Structure 1
Amino acid sequence: MFSVVCFTRSSSGLSFDFYAVSCPSAEIMVKNSVRSASSTDPTIPGKLLRLFFHDCFVEGCDASILLQGNDTERSDPANKSLGAFSVIDSAKRVLEIFCPGVVSCADILALAARDAVELTGGPNIQIPTGRRDGRVSLAANVRPNIIDTSFTLNQMANIFSAKGLSMDDLVTLSGAHTIGSAHCRSFSDRFKLDSNGKFNLIDSSLDKEYAAELTRMCPAGASASVTVNNDPNTPLLFDNEYYKELLVHKGLFQSDSALLNDERTKNIVLDFANNQEFFFESWIQSFLKLSSIGVKRNDEGEIRQLCSMTNG
């Protein structure tokens, strides 16, 4: 298990002791909410991590993804499959009882994503807090800012670069796919069955036997609710298995396979596959950078009373 202790104040203006006086048990309350929800639904950690990514990449880490309503980020089709909103709402309710008006939804989401990794066997990370909740959430801002599973490496790198994240961060944070699951439609264009039921591999970067297995799990006409584990071997553990699967061409998404098929990123994949400790150390640094994207401070945001709506 790894942890990192950084300076009292981060470059984003956040601090590691932000709630020490105003709500000293804030982080424990969030962790308890995540642990409780995960004990009854083991898919929760993967959902929390994905929710955090989708929040930070649009408007920054400001809980704008949590706002409900017409034309909000949450209403965009790309975000329809997001989950674990109830975990954030549950933590917020507890915090409003003990520390009313103090802890932001943005911090709750960041802490919950951090805890999701630790609870599934990943590194323990100390992250700074003090984020404010954003007031803007527009569906129109979603597509230009999030990664699609069919993206090339260049397309992904361009979006990451715009967020201040490097190619190394891209490979590292893709490791989030070591937990969680995906709907069939997010990868089903990589293979198909013809009218005679014959299997046809469209994307040659995907292992044929694995693709055939995916076809059985996602047959034509399958319910839109059917999901497949991102990592077929240890789907509930945050480990380096994702990178090992990439090496044998079992990356679920086209965007996963792209990491192995490009010389700029292939060696990083190899390093992470061979050394989980190195992956964890890299994850700590990249996650800290992710959690600081576009944070709101002071008058730039607010502390919402309810995470699903602004204060007024």
Structure 2
Amino acid sequence: MRPKTATLPPSSRLLIFPICLISLLLFFSSPVSSSGSSDLSPDFYVASCPNVELLVKNTVRTAVAFDATLPGKLLRLLFHDCMVEGCDASVLLQGSGTERSDPANKSLGGFEVVESAKRLLEILCPGAVSCADILVLAARDAVELTGGPSVRVPMGRRDGVVSSASHVRPNMVDTTFTLDEMLQLFSSKGLTLDDLVTLSGAHTIGSAHCSVFSERFRTGPNGSVTAVDASLDGSYAAELARQCSGGGGESTTVSNDPETSAAFDNQYYRNLLVGKGLFESDSALAGDRRTRGRVEALAGDQEGFFQGWADSFVRLAGVGVKTGGEGEIRRSCHETNR
């Protein structure tokens, strides 16, 4: 039986101590030196922190064992980071006027997992591993831990020192966006139409607040539910209305995928084909001839989705990265060193 959250020890102890002994043994079995490479590479930390991937994965695995909602949160956290200022961990910075303070980012989660991994790495590999790389690895591991593919990602990102709330809205996909609006934003980041369809598959895990999609259906005085747009299945709209009418208000959430919400799989695309895309932006993929064929292909080919995901995830994680002398390696992920 999973322990209740209220019985858990503080998060920093929970995530770090169960793996510290193993991590220390692994760490001291390998030499430590700084890397002078300014290019992203899967082997970037081979000398400076050779066990970084194992350390991050153990941290994520331990956290997910106590909170099954974290995989979706970590994946969303990475997307919100990379689309604004690039993949530089700027979304992790706290303070007035930062990206994290913008209302669009108020519902983000998973920060404590990245911070816990950073604290551990600062003990074992001080000043070596960026928060930006930790976030990419944590999101990658979140997918694998929920049944998705294992992706080999290049590393060597540095942390940004700029984080502005005013930069969030112009660079973030809204759930009401049309395909053209989404494509324009993705293209500005160097991502393709195929990347858009494939990365939208992230909605196979995670959840959303009812307020984000409640305008897609209307509830009558007699309790009847009518889908406002034709792309939403009527029975699905009724089920969403039922789940959102529990009195939870803004805190009520619904799974993005009504069928296999805990598994990273291609069910998301099958949902789209029967009118069960939670957001208008989801439904737009199945309703436009430019993307309909790709949705159909991925709905029938999970292995193809996994292969495409690996490629698109690496491209997403490469958006606007800072390397070499750019940015810094933060000592703590929620604040700059300056």
The two structures share one fold, judged by TM-score above 0.5: yes
- Per the normalisation by structure 2, the TM-score is 0.88
- Counting matched residue pairs gives 301
* Pairs within 5 Å for 1:211-226: 211-219=237-245, 222-226=248-252
Answer yes or no: is 1:91 the counterpart of 2:117.
yes
Q: Which has the larger radius of gyration?
A: 2
The residue number in structure 1 matching 2:56 is 30
Task: Find 1:123's aligned residue among 124, 149, 168.
Answer: 149
The residue number in structure 2 matching 1:70 is 96
The residue number in structure 2 matching 1:144 is 170
Task: Find 1:300's aligned residue among 326, 333, 336.
Answer: 326
Q: Distance in 2 between matches of 1:194 and 1:146?
A: 33
Q: Describe the SS at the equivalent of 1:243.
A: helix
- CA drift at 1:203: 1.3
The residue number in structure 2 matching 1:241 is 267
Answer yes or no: is 1:102 the counterpart of 2:128.
yes
- CA drift at 1:298: 1.8
The residue number in structure 1 matching 2:105 is 79
- CA drift at 1:248: 0.7
Q: Describe the SS at the equivalent of 2:226.
A: strand
Q: Describe the SS at the equivalent of 1:182.
A: strand
Task: Find 2:236's aligned residue among 210, 213, 222.
Answer: 210
The residue number in structure 2 matching 1:7 is none
Q: Distance in 2 between matches of 1:152 and 1:103?
A: 38
Q: Where in structure 1 are there 5+ consecutive unaligned residues?
A: 1-11
Answer yes or no: is 1:280 the counterpart of 2:335.
no
Q: Distance in 2 between matches of 1:13 and 1:225?
A: 42
The residue number in structure 2 matching 1:39 is 65
The residue number in structure 2 matching 1:6 is none
The one-letter amino acid of 2:279's match is F
- CA separation of 1:246 and 1:54: change in aligned 2, threshold 3 A: same
Q: Distance in 1 between matches of 2:102 and 2:218?
A: 27
The residue number in structure 2 matching 1:271 is 297
Q: Describe the SS at the equivalent of 1:299.
A: coil
The residue number in structure 2 matching 1:5 is none
1:21-79 per-position Cα deviation (integer Å, ceiling 9, x unaligned): 10111111100010000011111111000000000000000000000000100000000
Q: Where in structure 2 are there 5+ consecutive unaligned residues?
A: 1-37
- CA drift at 1:220: 8.1
Q: Describe the SS at the equivalent of 1:192.
A: strand
Q: Distance in 2 between matches of 1:168 and 1:246?
A: 16
Q: Distance in 1 between matches of 2:65 and 2:206?
A: 15
Q: Describe the SS at the equivalent of 1:256.
A: helix
* Pairs within 5 Å for 1:183-198: 183-198=209-224
The residue number in structure 2 matching 1:21 is 47
* Pairs within 5 Å for 1:3-14: 13-14=39-40
Q: Distance in 2 between matches of 1:31 and 1:192?
A: 43
Q: Distance in 2 between matches of 1:176 and 1:200?
A: 28
How well do the aligned residues superpose, as a CA RMSD in angstroms?
1.1
Task: Find 1:132's aligned residue among 125, 142, 158.
Answer: 158
- CA drift at 1:154: 0.4
The one-letter amino acid of 1:307's match is C
Answer yes or no: is 1:261 the counterpart of 2:291.
no
Task: Find 1:230's aligned residue among 256, 263, 275.
Answer: 256
Q: Distance in 1 between matches of 2:224 and 2:317?
A: 46
Paired-residue identity, % = 63
* Pairs within 5 Å for 1:170-181: 170-181=196-207
Q: Distance in 2 between matches of 1:252 and 1:135?
A: 35
- Per the normalisation by structure 1, the TM-score is 0.95
- CA drift at 1:241: 0.4
Answer yes or no: is 1:201 the counterpart of 2:223.
no
Higher relative contact order (Cα pairs below 8 Å, separated by 6+ residues): 1
The one-letter amino acid of 2:44's match is F
Greater CA deviation, 199-208 or 284-293? 199-208
